[in-house]
Structure 1
């Protein structure tokens, strides 16, 4: 089975090289890996022990960051490496983590996995949430490296739990320890006779709590918001924008300002969004202080500021719920404000919990968004009451990072 899998990865690599000729993101995915081995050799210091953490993209990195920060404090003698699968994580974090090596994950071929593991020889390998790579897991097992997964979230429909999923199931079982987010995930692991699972919760709660506690101001947001009520729509896709822009253009109260941070920040996507919003729209990349308080809409055409922008929100909308996957609702929820989302959120435990509790409101289109936004923007008491539900949820469920760090200590 490994031969078939390895062949499939090689064929995928060839296909990606062809697609890279037409798609800039895939081009970055391919070309970004060309200098990987030289960069890795330059970073590694002979004789120093190492800890390796792998995350798929920026969202999973934020999930792993509370653990990474504690590792740096607890094991200062170790070199820390972080790898990304996606350009959206690597390009934002490369060179911005002092003392931490940031690299692309090589494609999961047998040769790449063996070469990477032999070069790094980590004392422990950490994988955040969903990341399971058969050749890397096998190479780590042969190297005697413990594999620890955390903030894992499993669903019955995943291949690990299907009759046809034997190969991936065996790969998953190579993990030395798996810390899961919820009891349902733990039960699924027990159902395939994996006995080293543990319930720890979601490290994103620790991350958003730390961001809220840091209280780092953003001068451009201070200027833009002023004394106005602020709605922040984060990580939006065109489908989200189709649901929210009609209200913003036609029925937004005069004393309200809006920040939209689209998921896609390429020039074409940002220009199209600005055109939909119309007059009174200012782009972050063209921010002028003199125009800030006269603009109604601010389009955050950048990556990496959204978590801090949410601090200025009185009401938030989180994108992805009309598309393939809801983005992080905990980032605004921690600031004690109501959060709105699209209709598809069943795969996200915190969204299910907070919709049931009343802290998150799901809308299925423009009319529903307009109804909820109008009500909440006009009623600060209701916003405070709903926001408190979200604050309480974060406080009640934080603390996963401490348990995971204790588990790492036992394996090192």
Structure 2
């Protein structure tokens, strides 16, 4: 009954959802394409194999090592990856080309999810992190499709949100066949929402198993060589309200280090142009990565306005600030810069990655700054002290290496579901 009410409410909201999609298409034209897939029509669906759902770019990148290993271990099984965003779609094609099928996940209405599952007929469904939809999970259970929640994470804030609608989500959580959860604290939160403890394994985060490709590191080294000995810091995955603080910090930093270069990478592509205007308004010379130019001596900012290059740009820097943390967005993946041996800086808002950021902070690999002024001081200190950078960078790499192994545990669990 509760799911029926949810489906009715979702149906009544469809006009508003479509208006929102039109608005997003106006801001980012890629949203205007492939609408039929959002109604489970079309798409490159490869049936009777493995289905993976990764909502957007970050989840697609996190899923990549798992997908590559599934392709290697089960060459007889086709893989289809669904996502929700054009940027996620672009990332999937960039990572795998034609090796996997791909489509958008339809809206969470029972008849649309049934249509998708009839086309997919998957042996197993693997959902990355916490992208759960009540009708999707219910229709998988009805069709006898085992659902794995991979690299599962659940912040205290998200858990509280789910508790407010527990009447709707408890059956969804209880229907999951296996949850490969990142930490014990998150396992407790999942259990409180209805996941059976026997259906959970604390595997750790597969993001610890990140290994940058050698060709990517070579590309970064070539790019960095062009810049010479300039001190370089990166502000990655930034959100609205952060860029202004970062640019002010960089303006002040330039008084001490006149040749310092900031690599500024907004989280969402629809903000690329507005952030470029902020850089211009700040009176800072800039080069846009999408235009292929190289920063001249008079350019203080490289705007990372391309998709799929964040790790390569991290590898070009001496110090990394991870965005979504000076404003209350909860932070982003701290492990990528740590795995590359960079000292990591974060704002105070880390609620999406508390366990990982605490682990890095405790090892001396991550430093939390309160605001833009503190960010400026921390960047200046690190850029001026090579030994301090090396200590923090080595600590981060050690944490990453010590916590690897989650991917193999996850693959073993998926393999067990494929045998049934």
Q: Establish whether TM, by shorter chain, passes 0.5.
A: yes
Match of 2:363 in 1: 357
Contact (CA 8 Å) 2:22, 2:32: kept in 1 or not?
Answer: no
* Mapped partners of 1:95, 1:387: distance in 2: 29
Match of 1:87 in 2: 86
Change (3 A) 1:219 1:277: farther
Indicate which of 343, 363, 366 corresponds to 2:348. 343
- Report the more deviating stretch, 56-65 or 22-31: 22-31
* Mapped partners of 1:224, 1:240: distance in 2: 28
* Mapped partners of 2:261, 2:162: distance in 1: 47
Indicate which of 199, 204, 224 corresponds to 1:201. 204
* Mapped partners of 1:193, 1:319: distance in 2: 32
How far off is 1:155 after superposition? 3.8
Match of 2:73 in 1: 74
How far off is 1:164 after superposition? 4.7
How far off is 1:396 after superposition? 0.8
Contact (CA 8 Å) 1:181, 1:199: kept in 2 or not?
Answer: yes
Q: Which TM-score applies when normalising by structure 1? A: 0.91
Match of 1:286 in 2: 291
Q: Which residues of 2 match residues 12-411 of structure 1 at below 5 A? A: 12-23=13-24, 24=26, 28-29=30-31, 31-35=33-37, 37-40=40-43, 43-44=45-46, 49-94=48-93, 97-98=96-97, 99-157=99-157, 158=159, 162=163, 164-191=165-192, 192=194, 194=196, 195-207=198-210, 209-211=211-213, 215-218=217-220, 221-222=223-224, 224-252=226-254, 253-266=257-270, 268-289=273-294, 292=296, 294-323=298-327, 324-348=329-353, 349-411=355-417
- Report the more deviating stretch, 326-335 or 215-224: 215-224
Residue aligned with 2:36, SS = coil
How far off is 1:393 after superposition? 0.8
* Mapped partners of 1:88, 1:214: distance in 2: 20
How far off is 1:218 after superposition? 4.0
Residue aligned with 2:268, SS = coil
Residue aligned with 1:103, SS = strand
Q: Which TM-score applies when normalising by structure 2? A: 0.89
Count of paired positions: 406
Contact (CA 8 Å) 2:64, 2:95: kept in 1 or not?
Answer: no
Change (3 A) 1:373 1:96: closer
How far off is 1:279 after superposition? 3.9
How far off is 1:92 after superposition? 3.5
* Mapped partners of 1:166, 1:317: distance in 2: 39
- Consecutive unaligned residues of structure 1, counting only runs of 5 or more, are none
Alpha-carbon RMSD? 2.4
How far off is 1:234 after superposition? 0.9
* Mapped partners of 2:221, 2:365: distance in 1: 29
How far off is 1:331 after superposition? 1.3
